[in-house]
Structure 1
Amino acid sequence: MTWAVIVLVLTLTPADEMPVTPQWKLLSFDTAAHAAVFLLLAILTCFSAGRQHRFPTLRTHVFSLVLVGCVAFGALIEILQMTMNLGRHGEWSDLISDSIGAVIGLLGMAALRRWWQ
């Protein structure tokens, strides 16, 4: 939950208050940052949800629920960026990067789960 709040605050910071990001040639810094932030969000959420013993259904469907939640959260951020007039721009490419990061995080968690068992 804390990481999600940090992500929300950082993504809704007005554009004129954001630091200058480096210009990468192969992959944009922004794309990599979106993927990395949502990779970590998916891992932390998956780990936390797996520890919820009171909700066995949540533990059973954790990967699909976390994926849907991460994509929905990414979409919400892009919609807020478009509508809040902060000098930020909602972009489909950011949502795709968010989704790719979440999928990679979940694949890593699935691999870790298999290895652990």
Structure 2
Amino acid sequence: MFLRYNLFAILWILLILLLGLAPGESMPATNIWDFLSFDKVAHFSVFAILAFLLIIGFTKQYTFRFVRYKAEILAIVFSVIYGIAIEVAQSFIPGRGVEYADVFANSLGALSGWLIFYLIYKA
């Protein structure tokens, strides 16, 4: 039942992987200041959605008791580590590199995904 409740999160993880590891030539060419703002908002949003989906899936599944009861912290930790891993992997892609501002946006997004979950389900 773990896969059933986490299918959307897994698909989202794969989408992040495909987009995050696209070669630099595949990225749209825009003014650096316009793209910088959009880029950080995109990172923030993508990881907020990821953390939210993971918390929902982890909470609903009943295969792994530990994951169910620690869903929020595990989802945040996984999202942050995944964001860092994607940024590090980008250093091996031509035209891409590690951006610490992206790591910060990813982490902030993961925390906001938890906040959104909290506001919807706990408040």
TM-score in same-fold range (> 0.5):
yes
- For residues 1-117 of structure 1, the aligned pairs below 5 Å read 1-21=10-30, 23-24=33-34, 28-82=37-91, 84-115=92-123
Is the 2:58–2:71 contact (alpha carbons within 8 Å) kept by the matching residues of 1?
Answer: yes
Report the count of equivalent residues: 113
SS at match of 1:73: helix
Give the structure-1-normalised TM-score. 0.88
Is the 1:12–1:86 contact (alpha carbons within 8 Å) kept by the matching residues of 2?
Answer: no
| Aligned-residue identity in percent | 34
Shift of 1:21: 4.7
Larger helix proportion of the pair: 2
String of CA shifts for 1:85-107, please: whole Å, max 9, x gaps: 32111111100000000100101
For 1:10, give the aligned amino acid. Answer: L
SS at match of 1:4: helix
Give the structure-2-normalised TM-score. 0.84
> RMSD across aligned C-alpha pairs, in angstroms?
1.7
Q: Unpaired segments of 5 or more residues in structure 1?
A: none
Instruction: Write the distance in 2 (CA, Å) between the matches of 1:74 and 1:19.
Output: 21
Q: Unpaired segments of 5 or more residues in structure 2?
A: 1-9
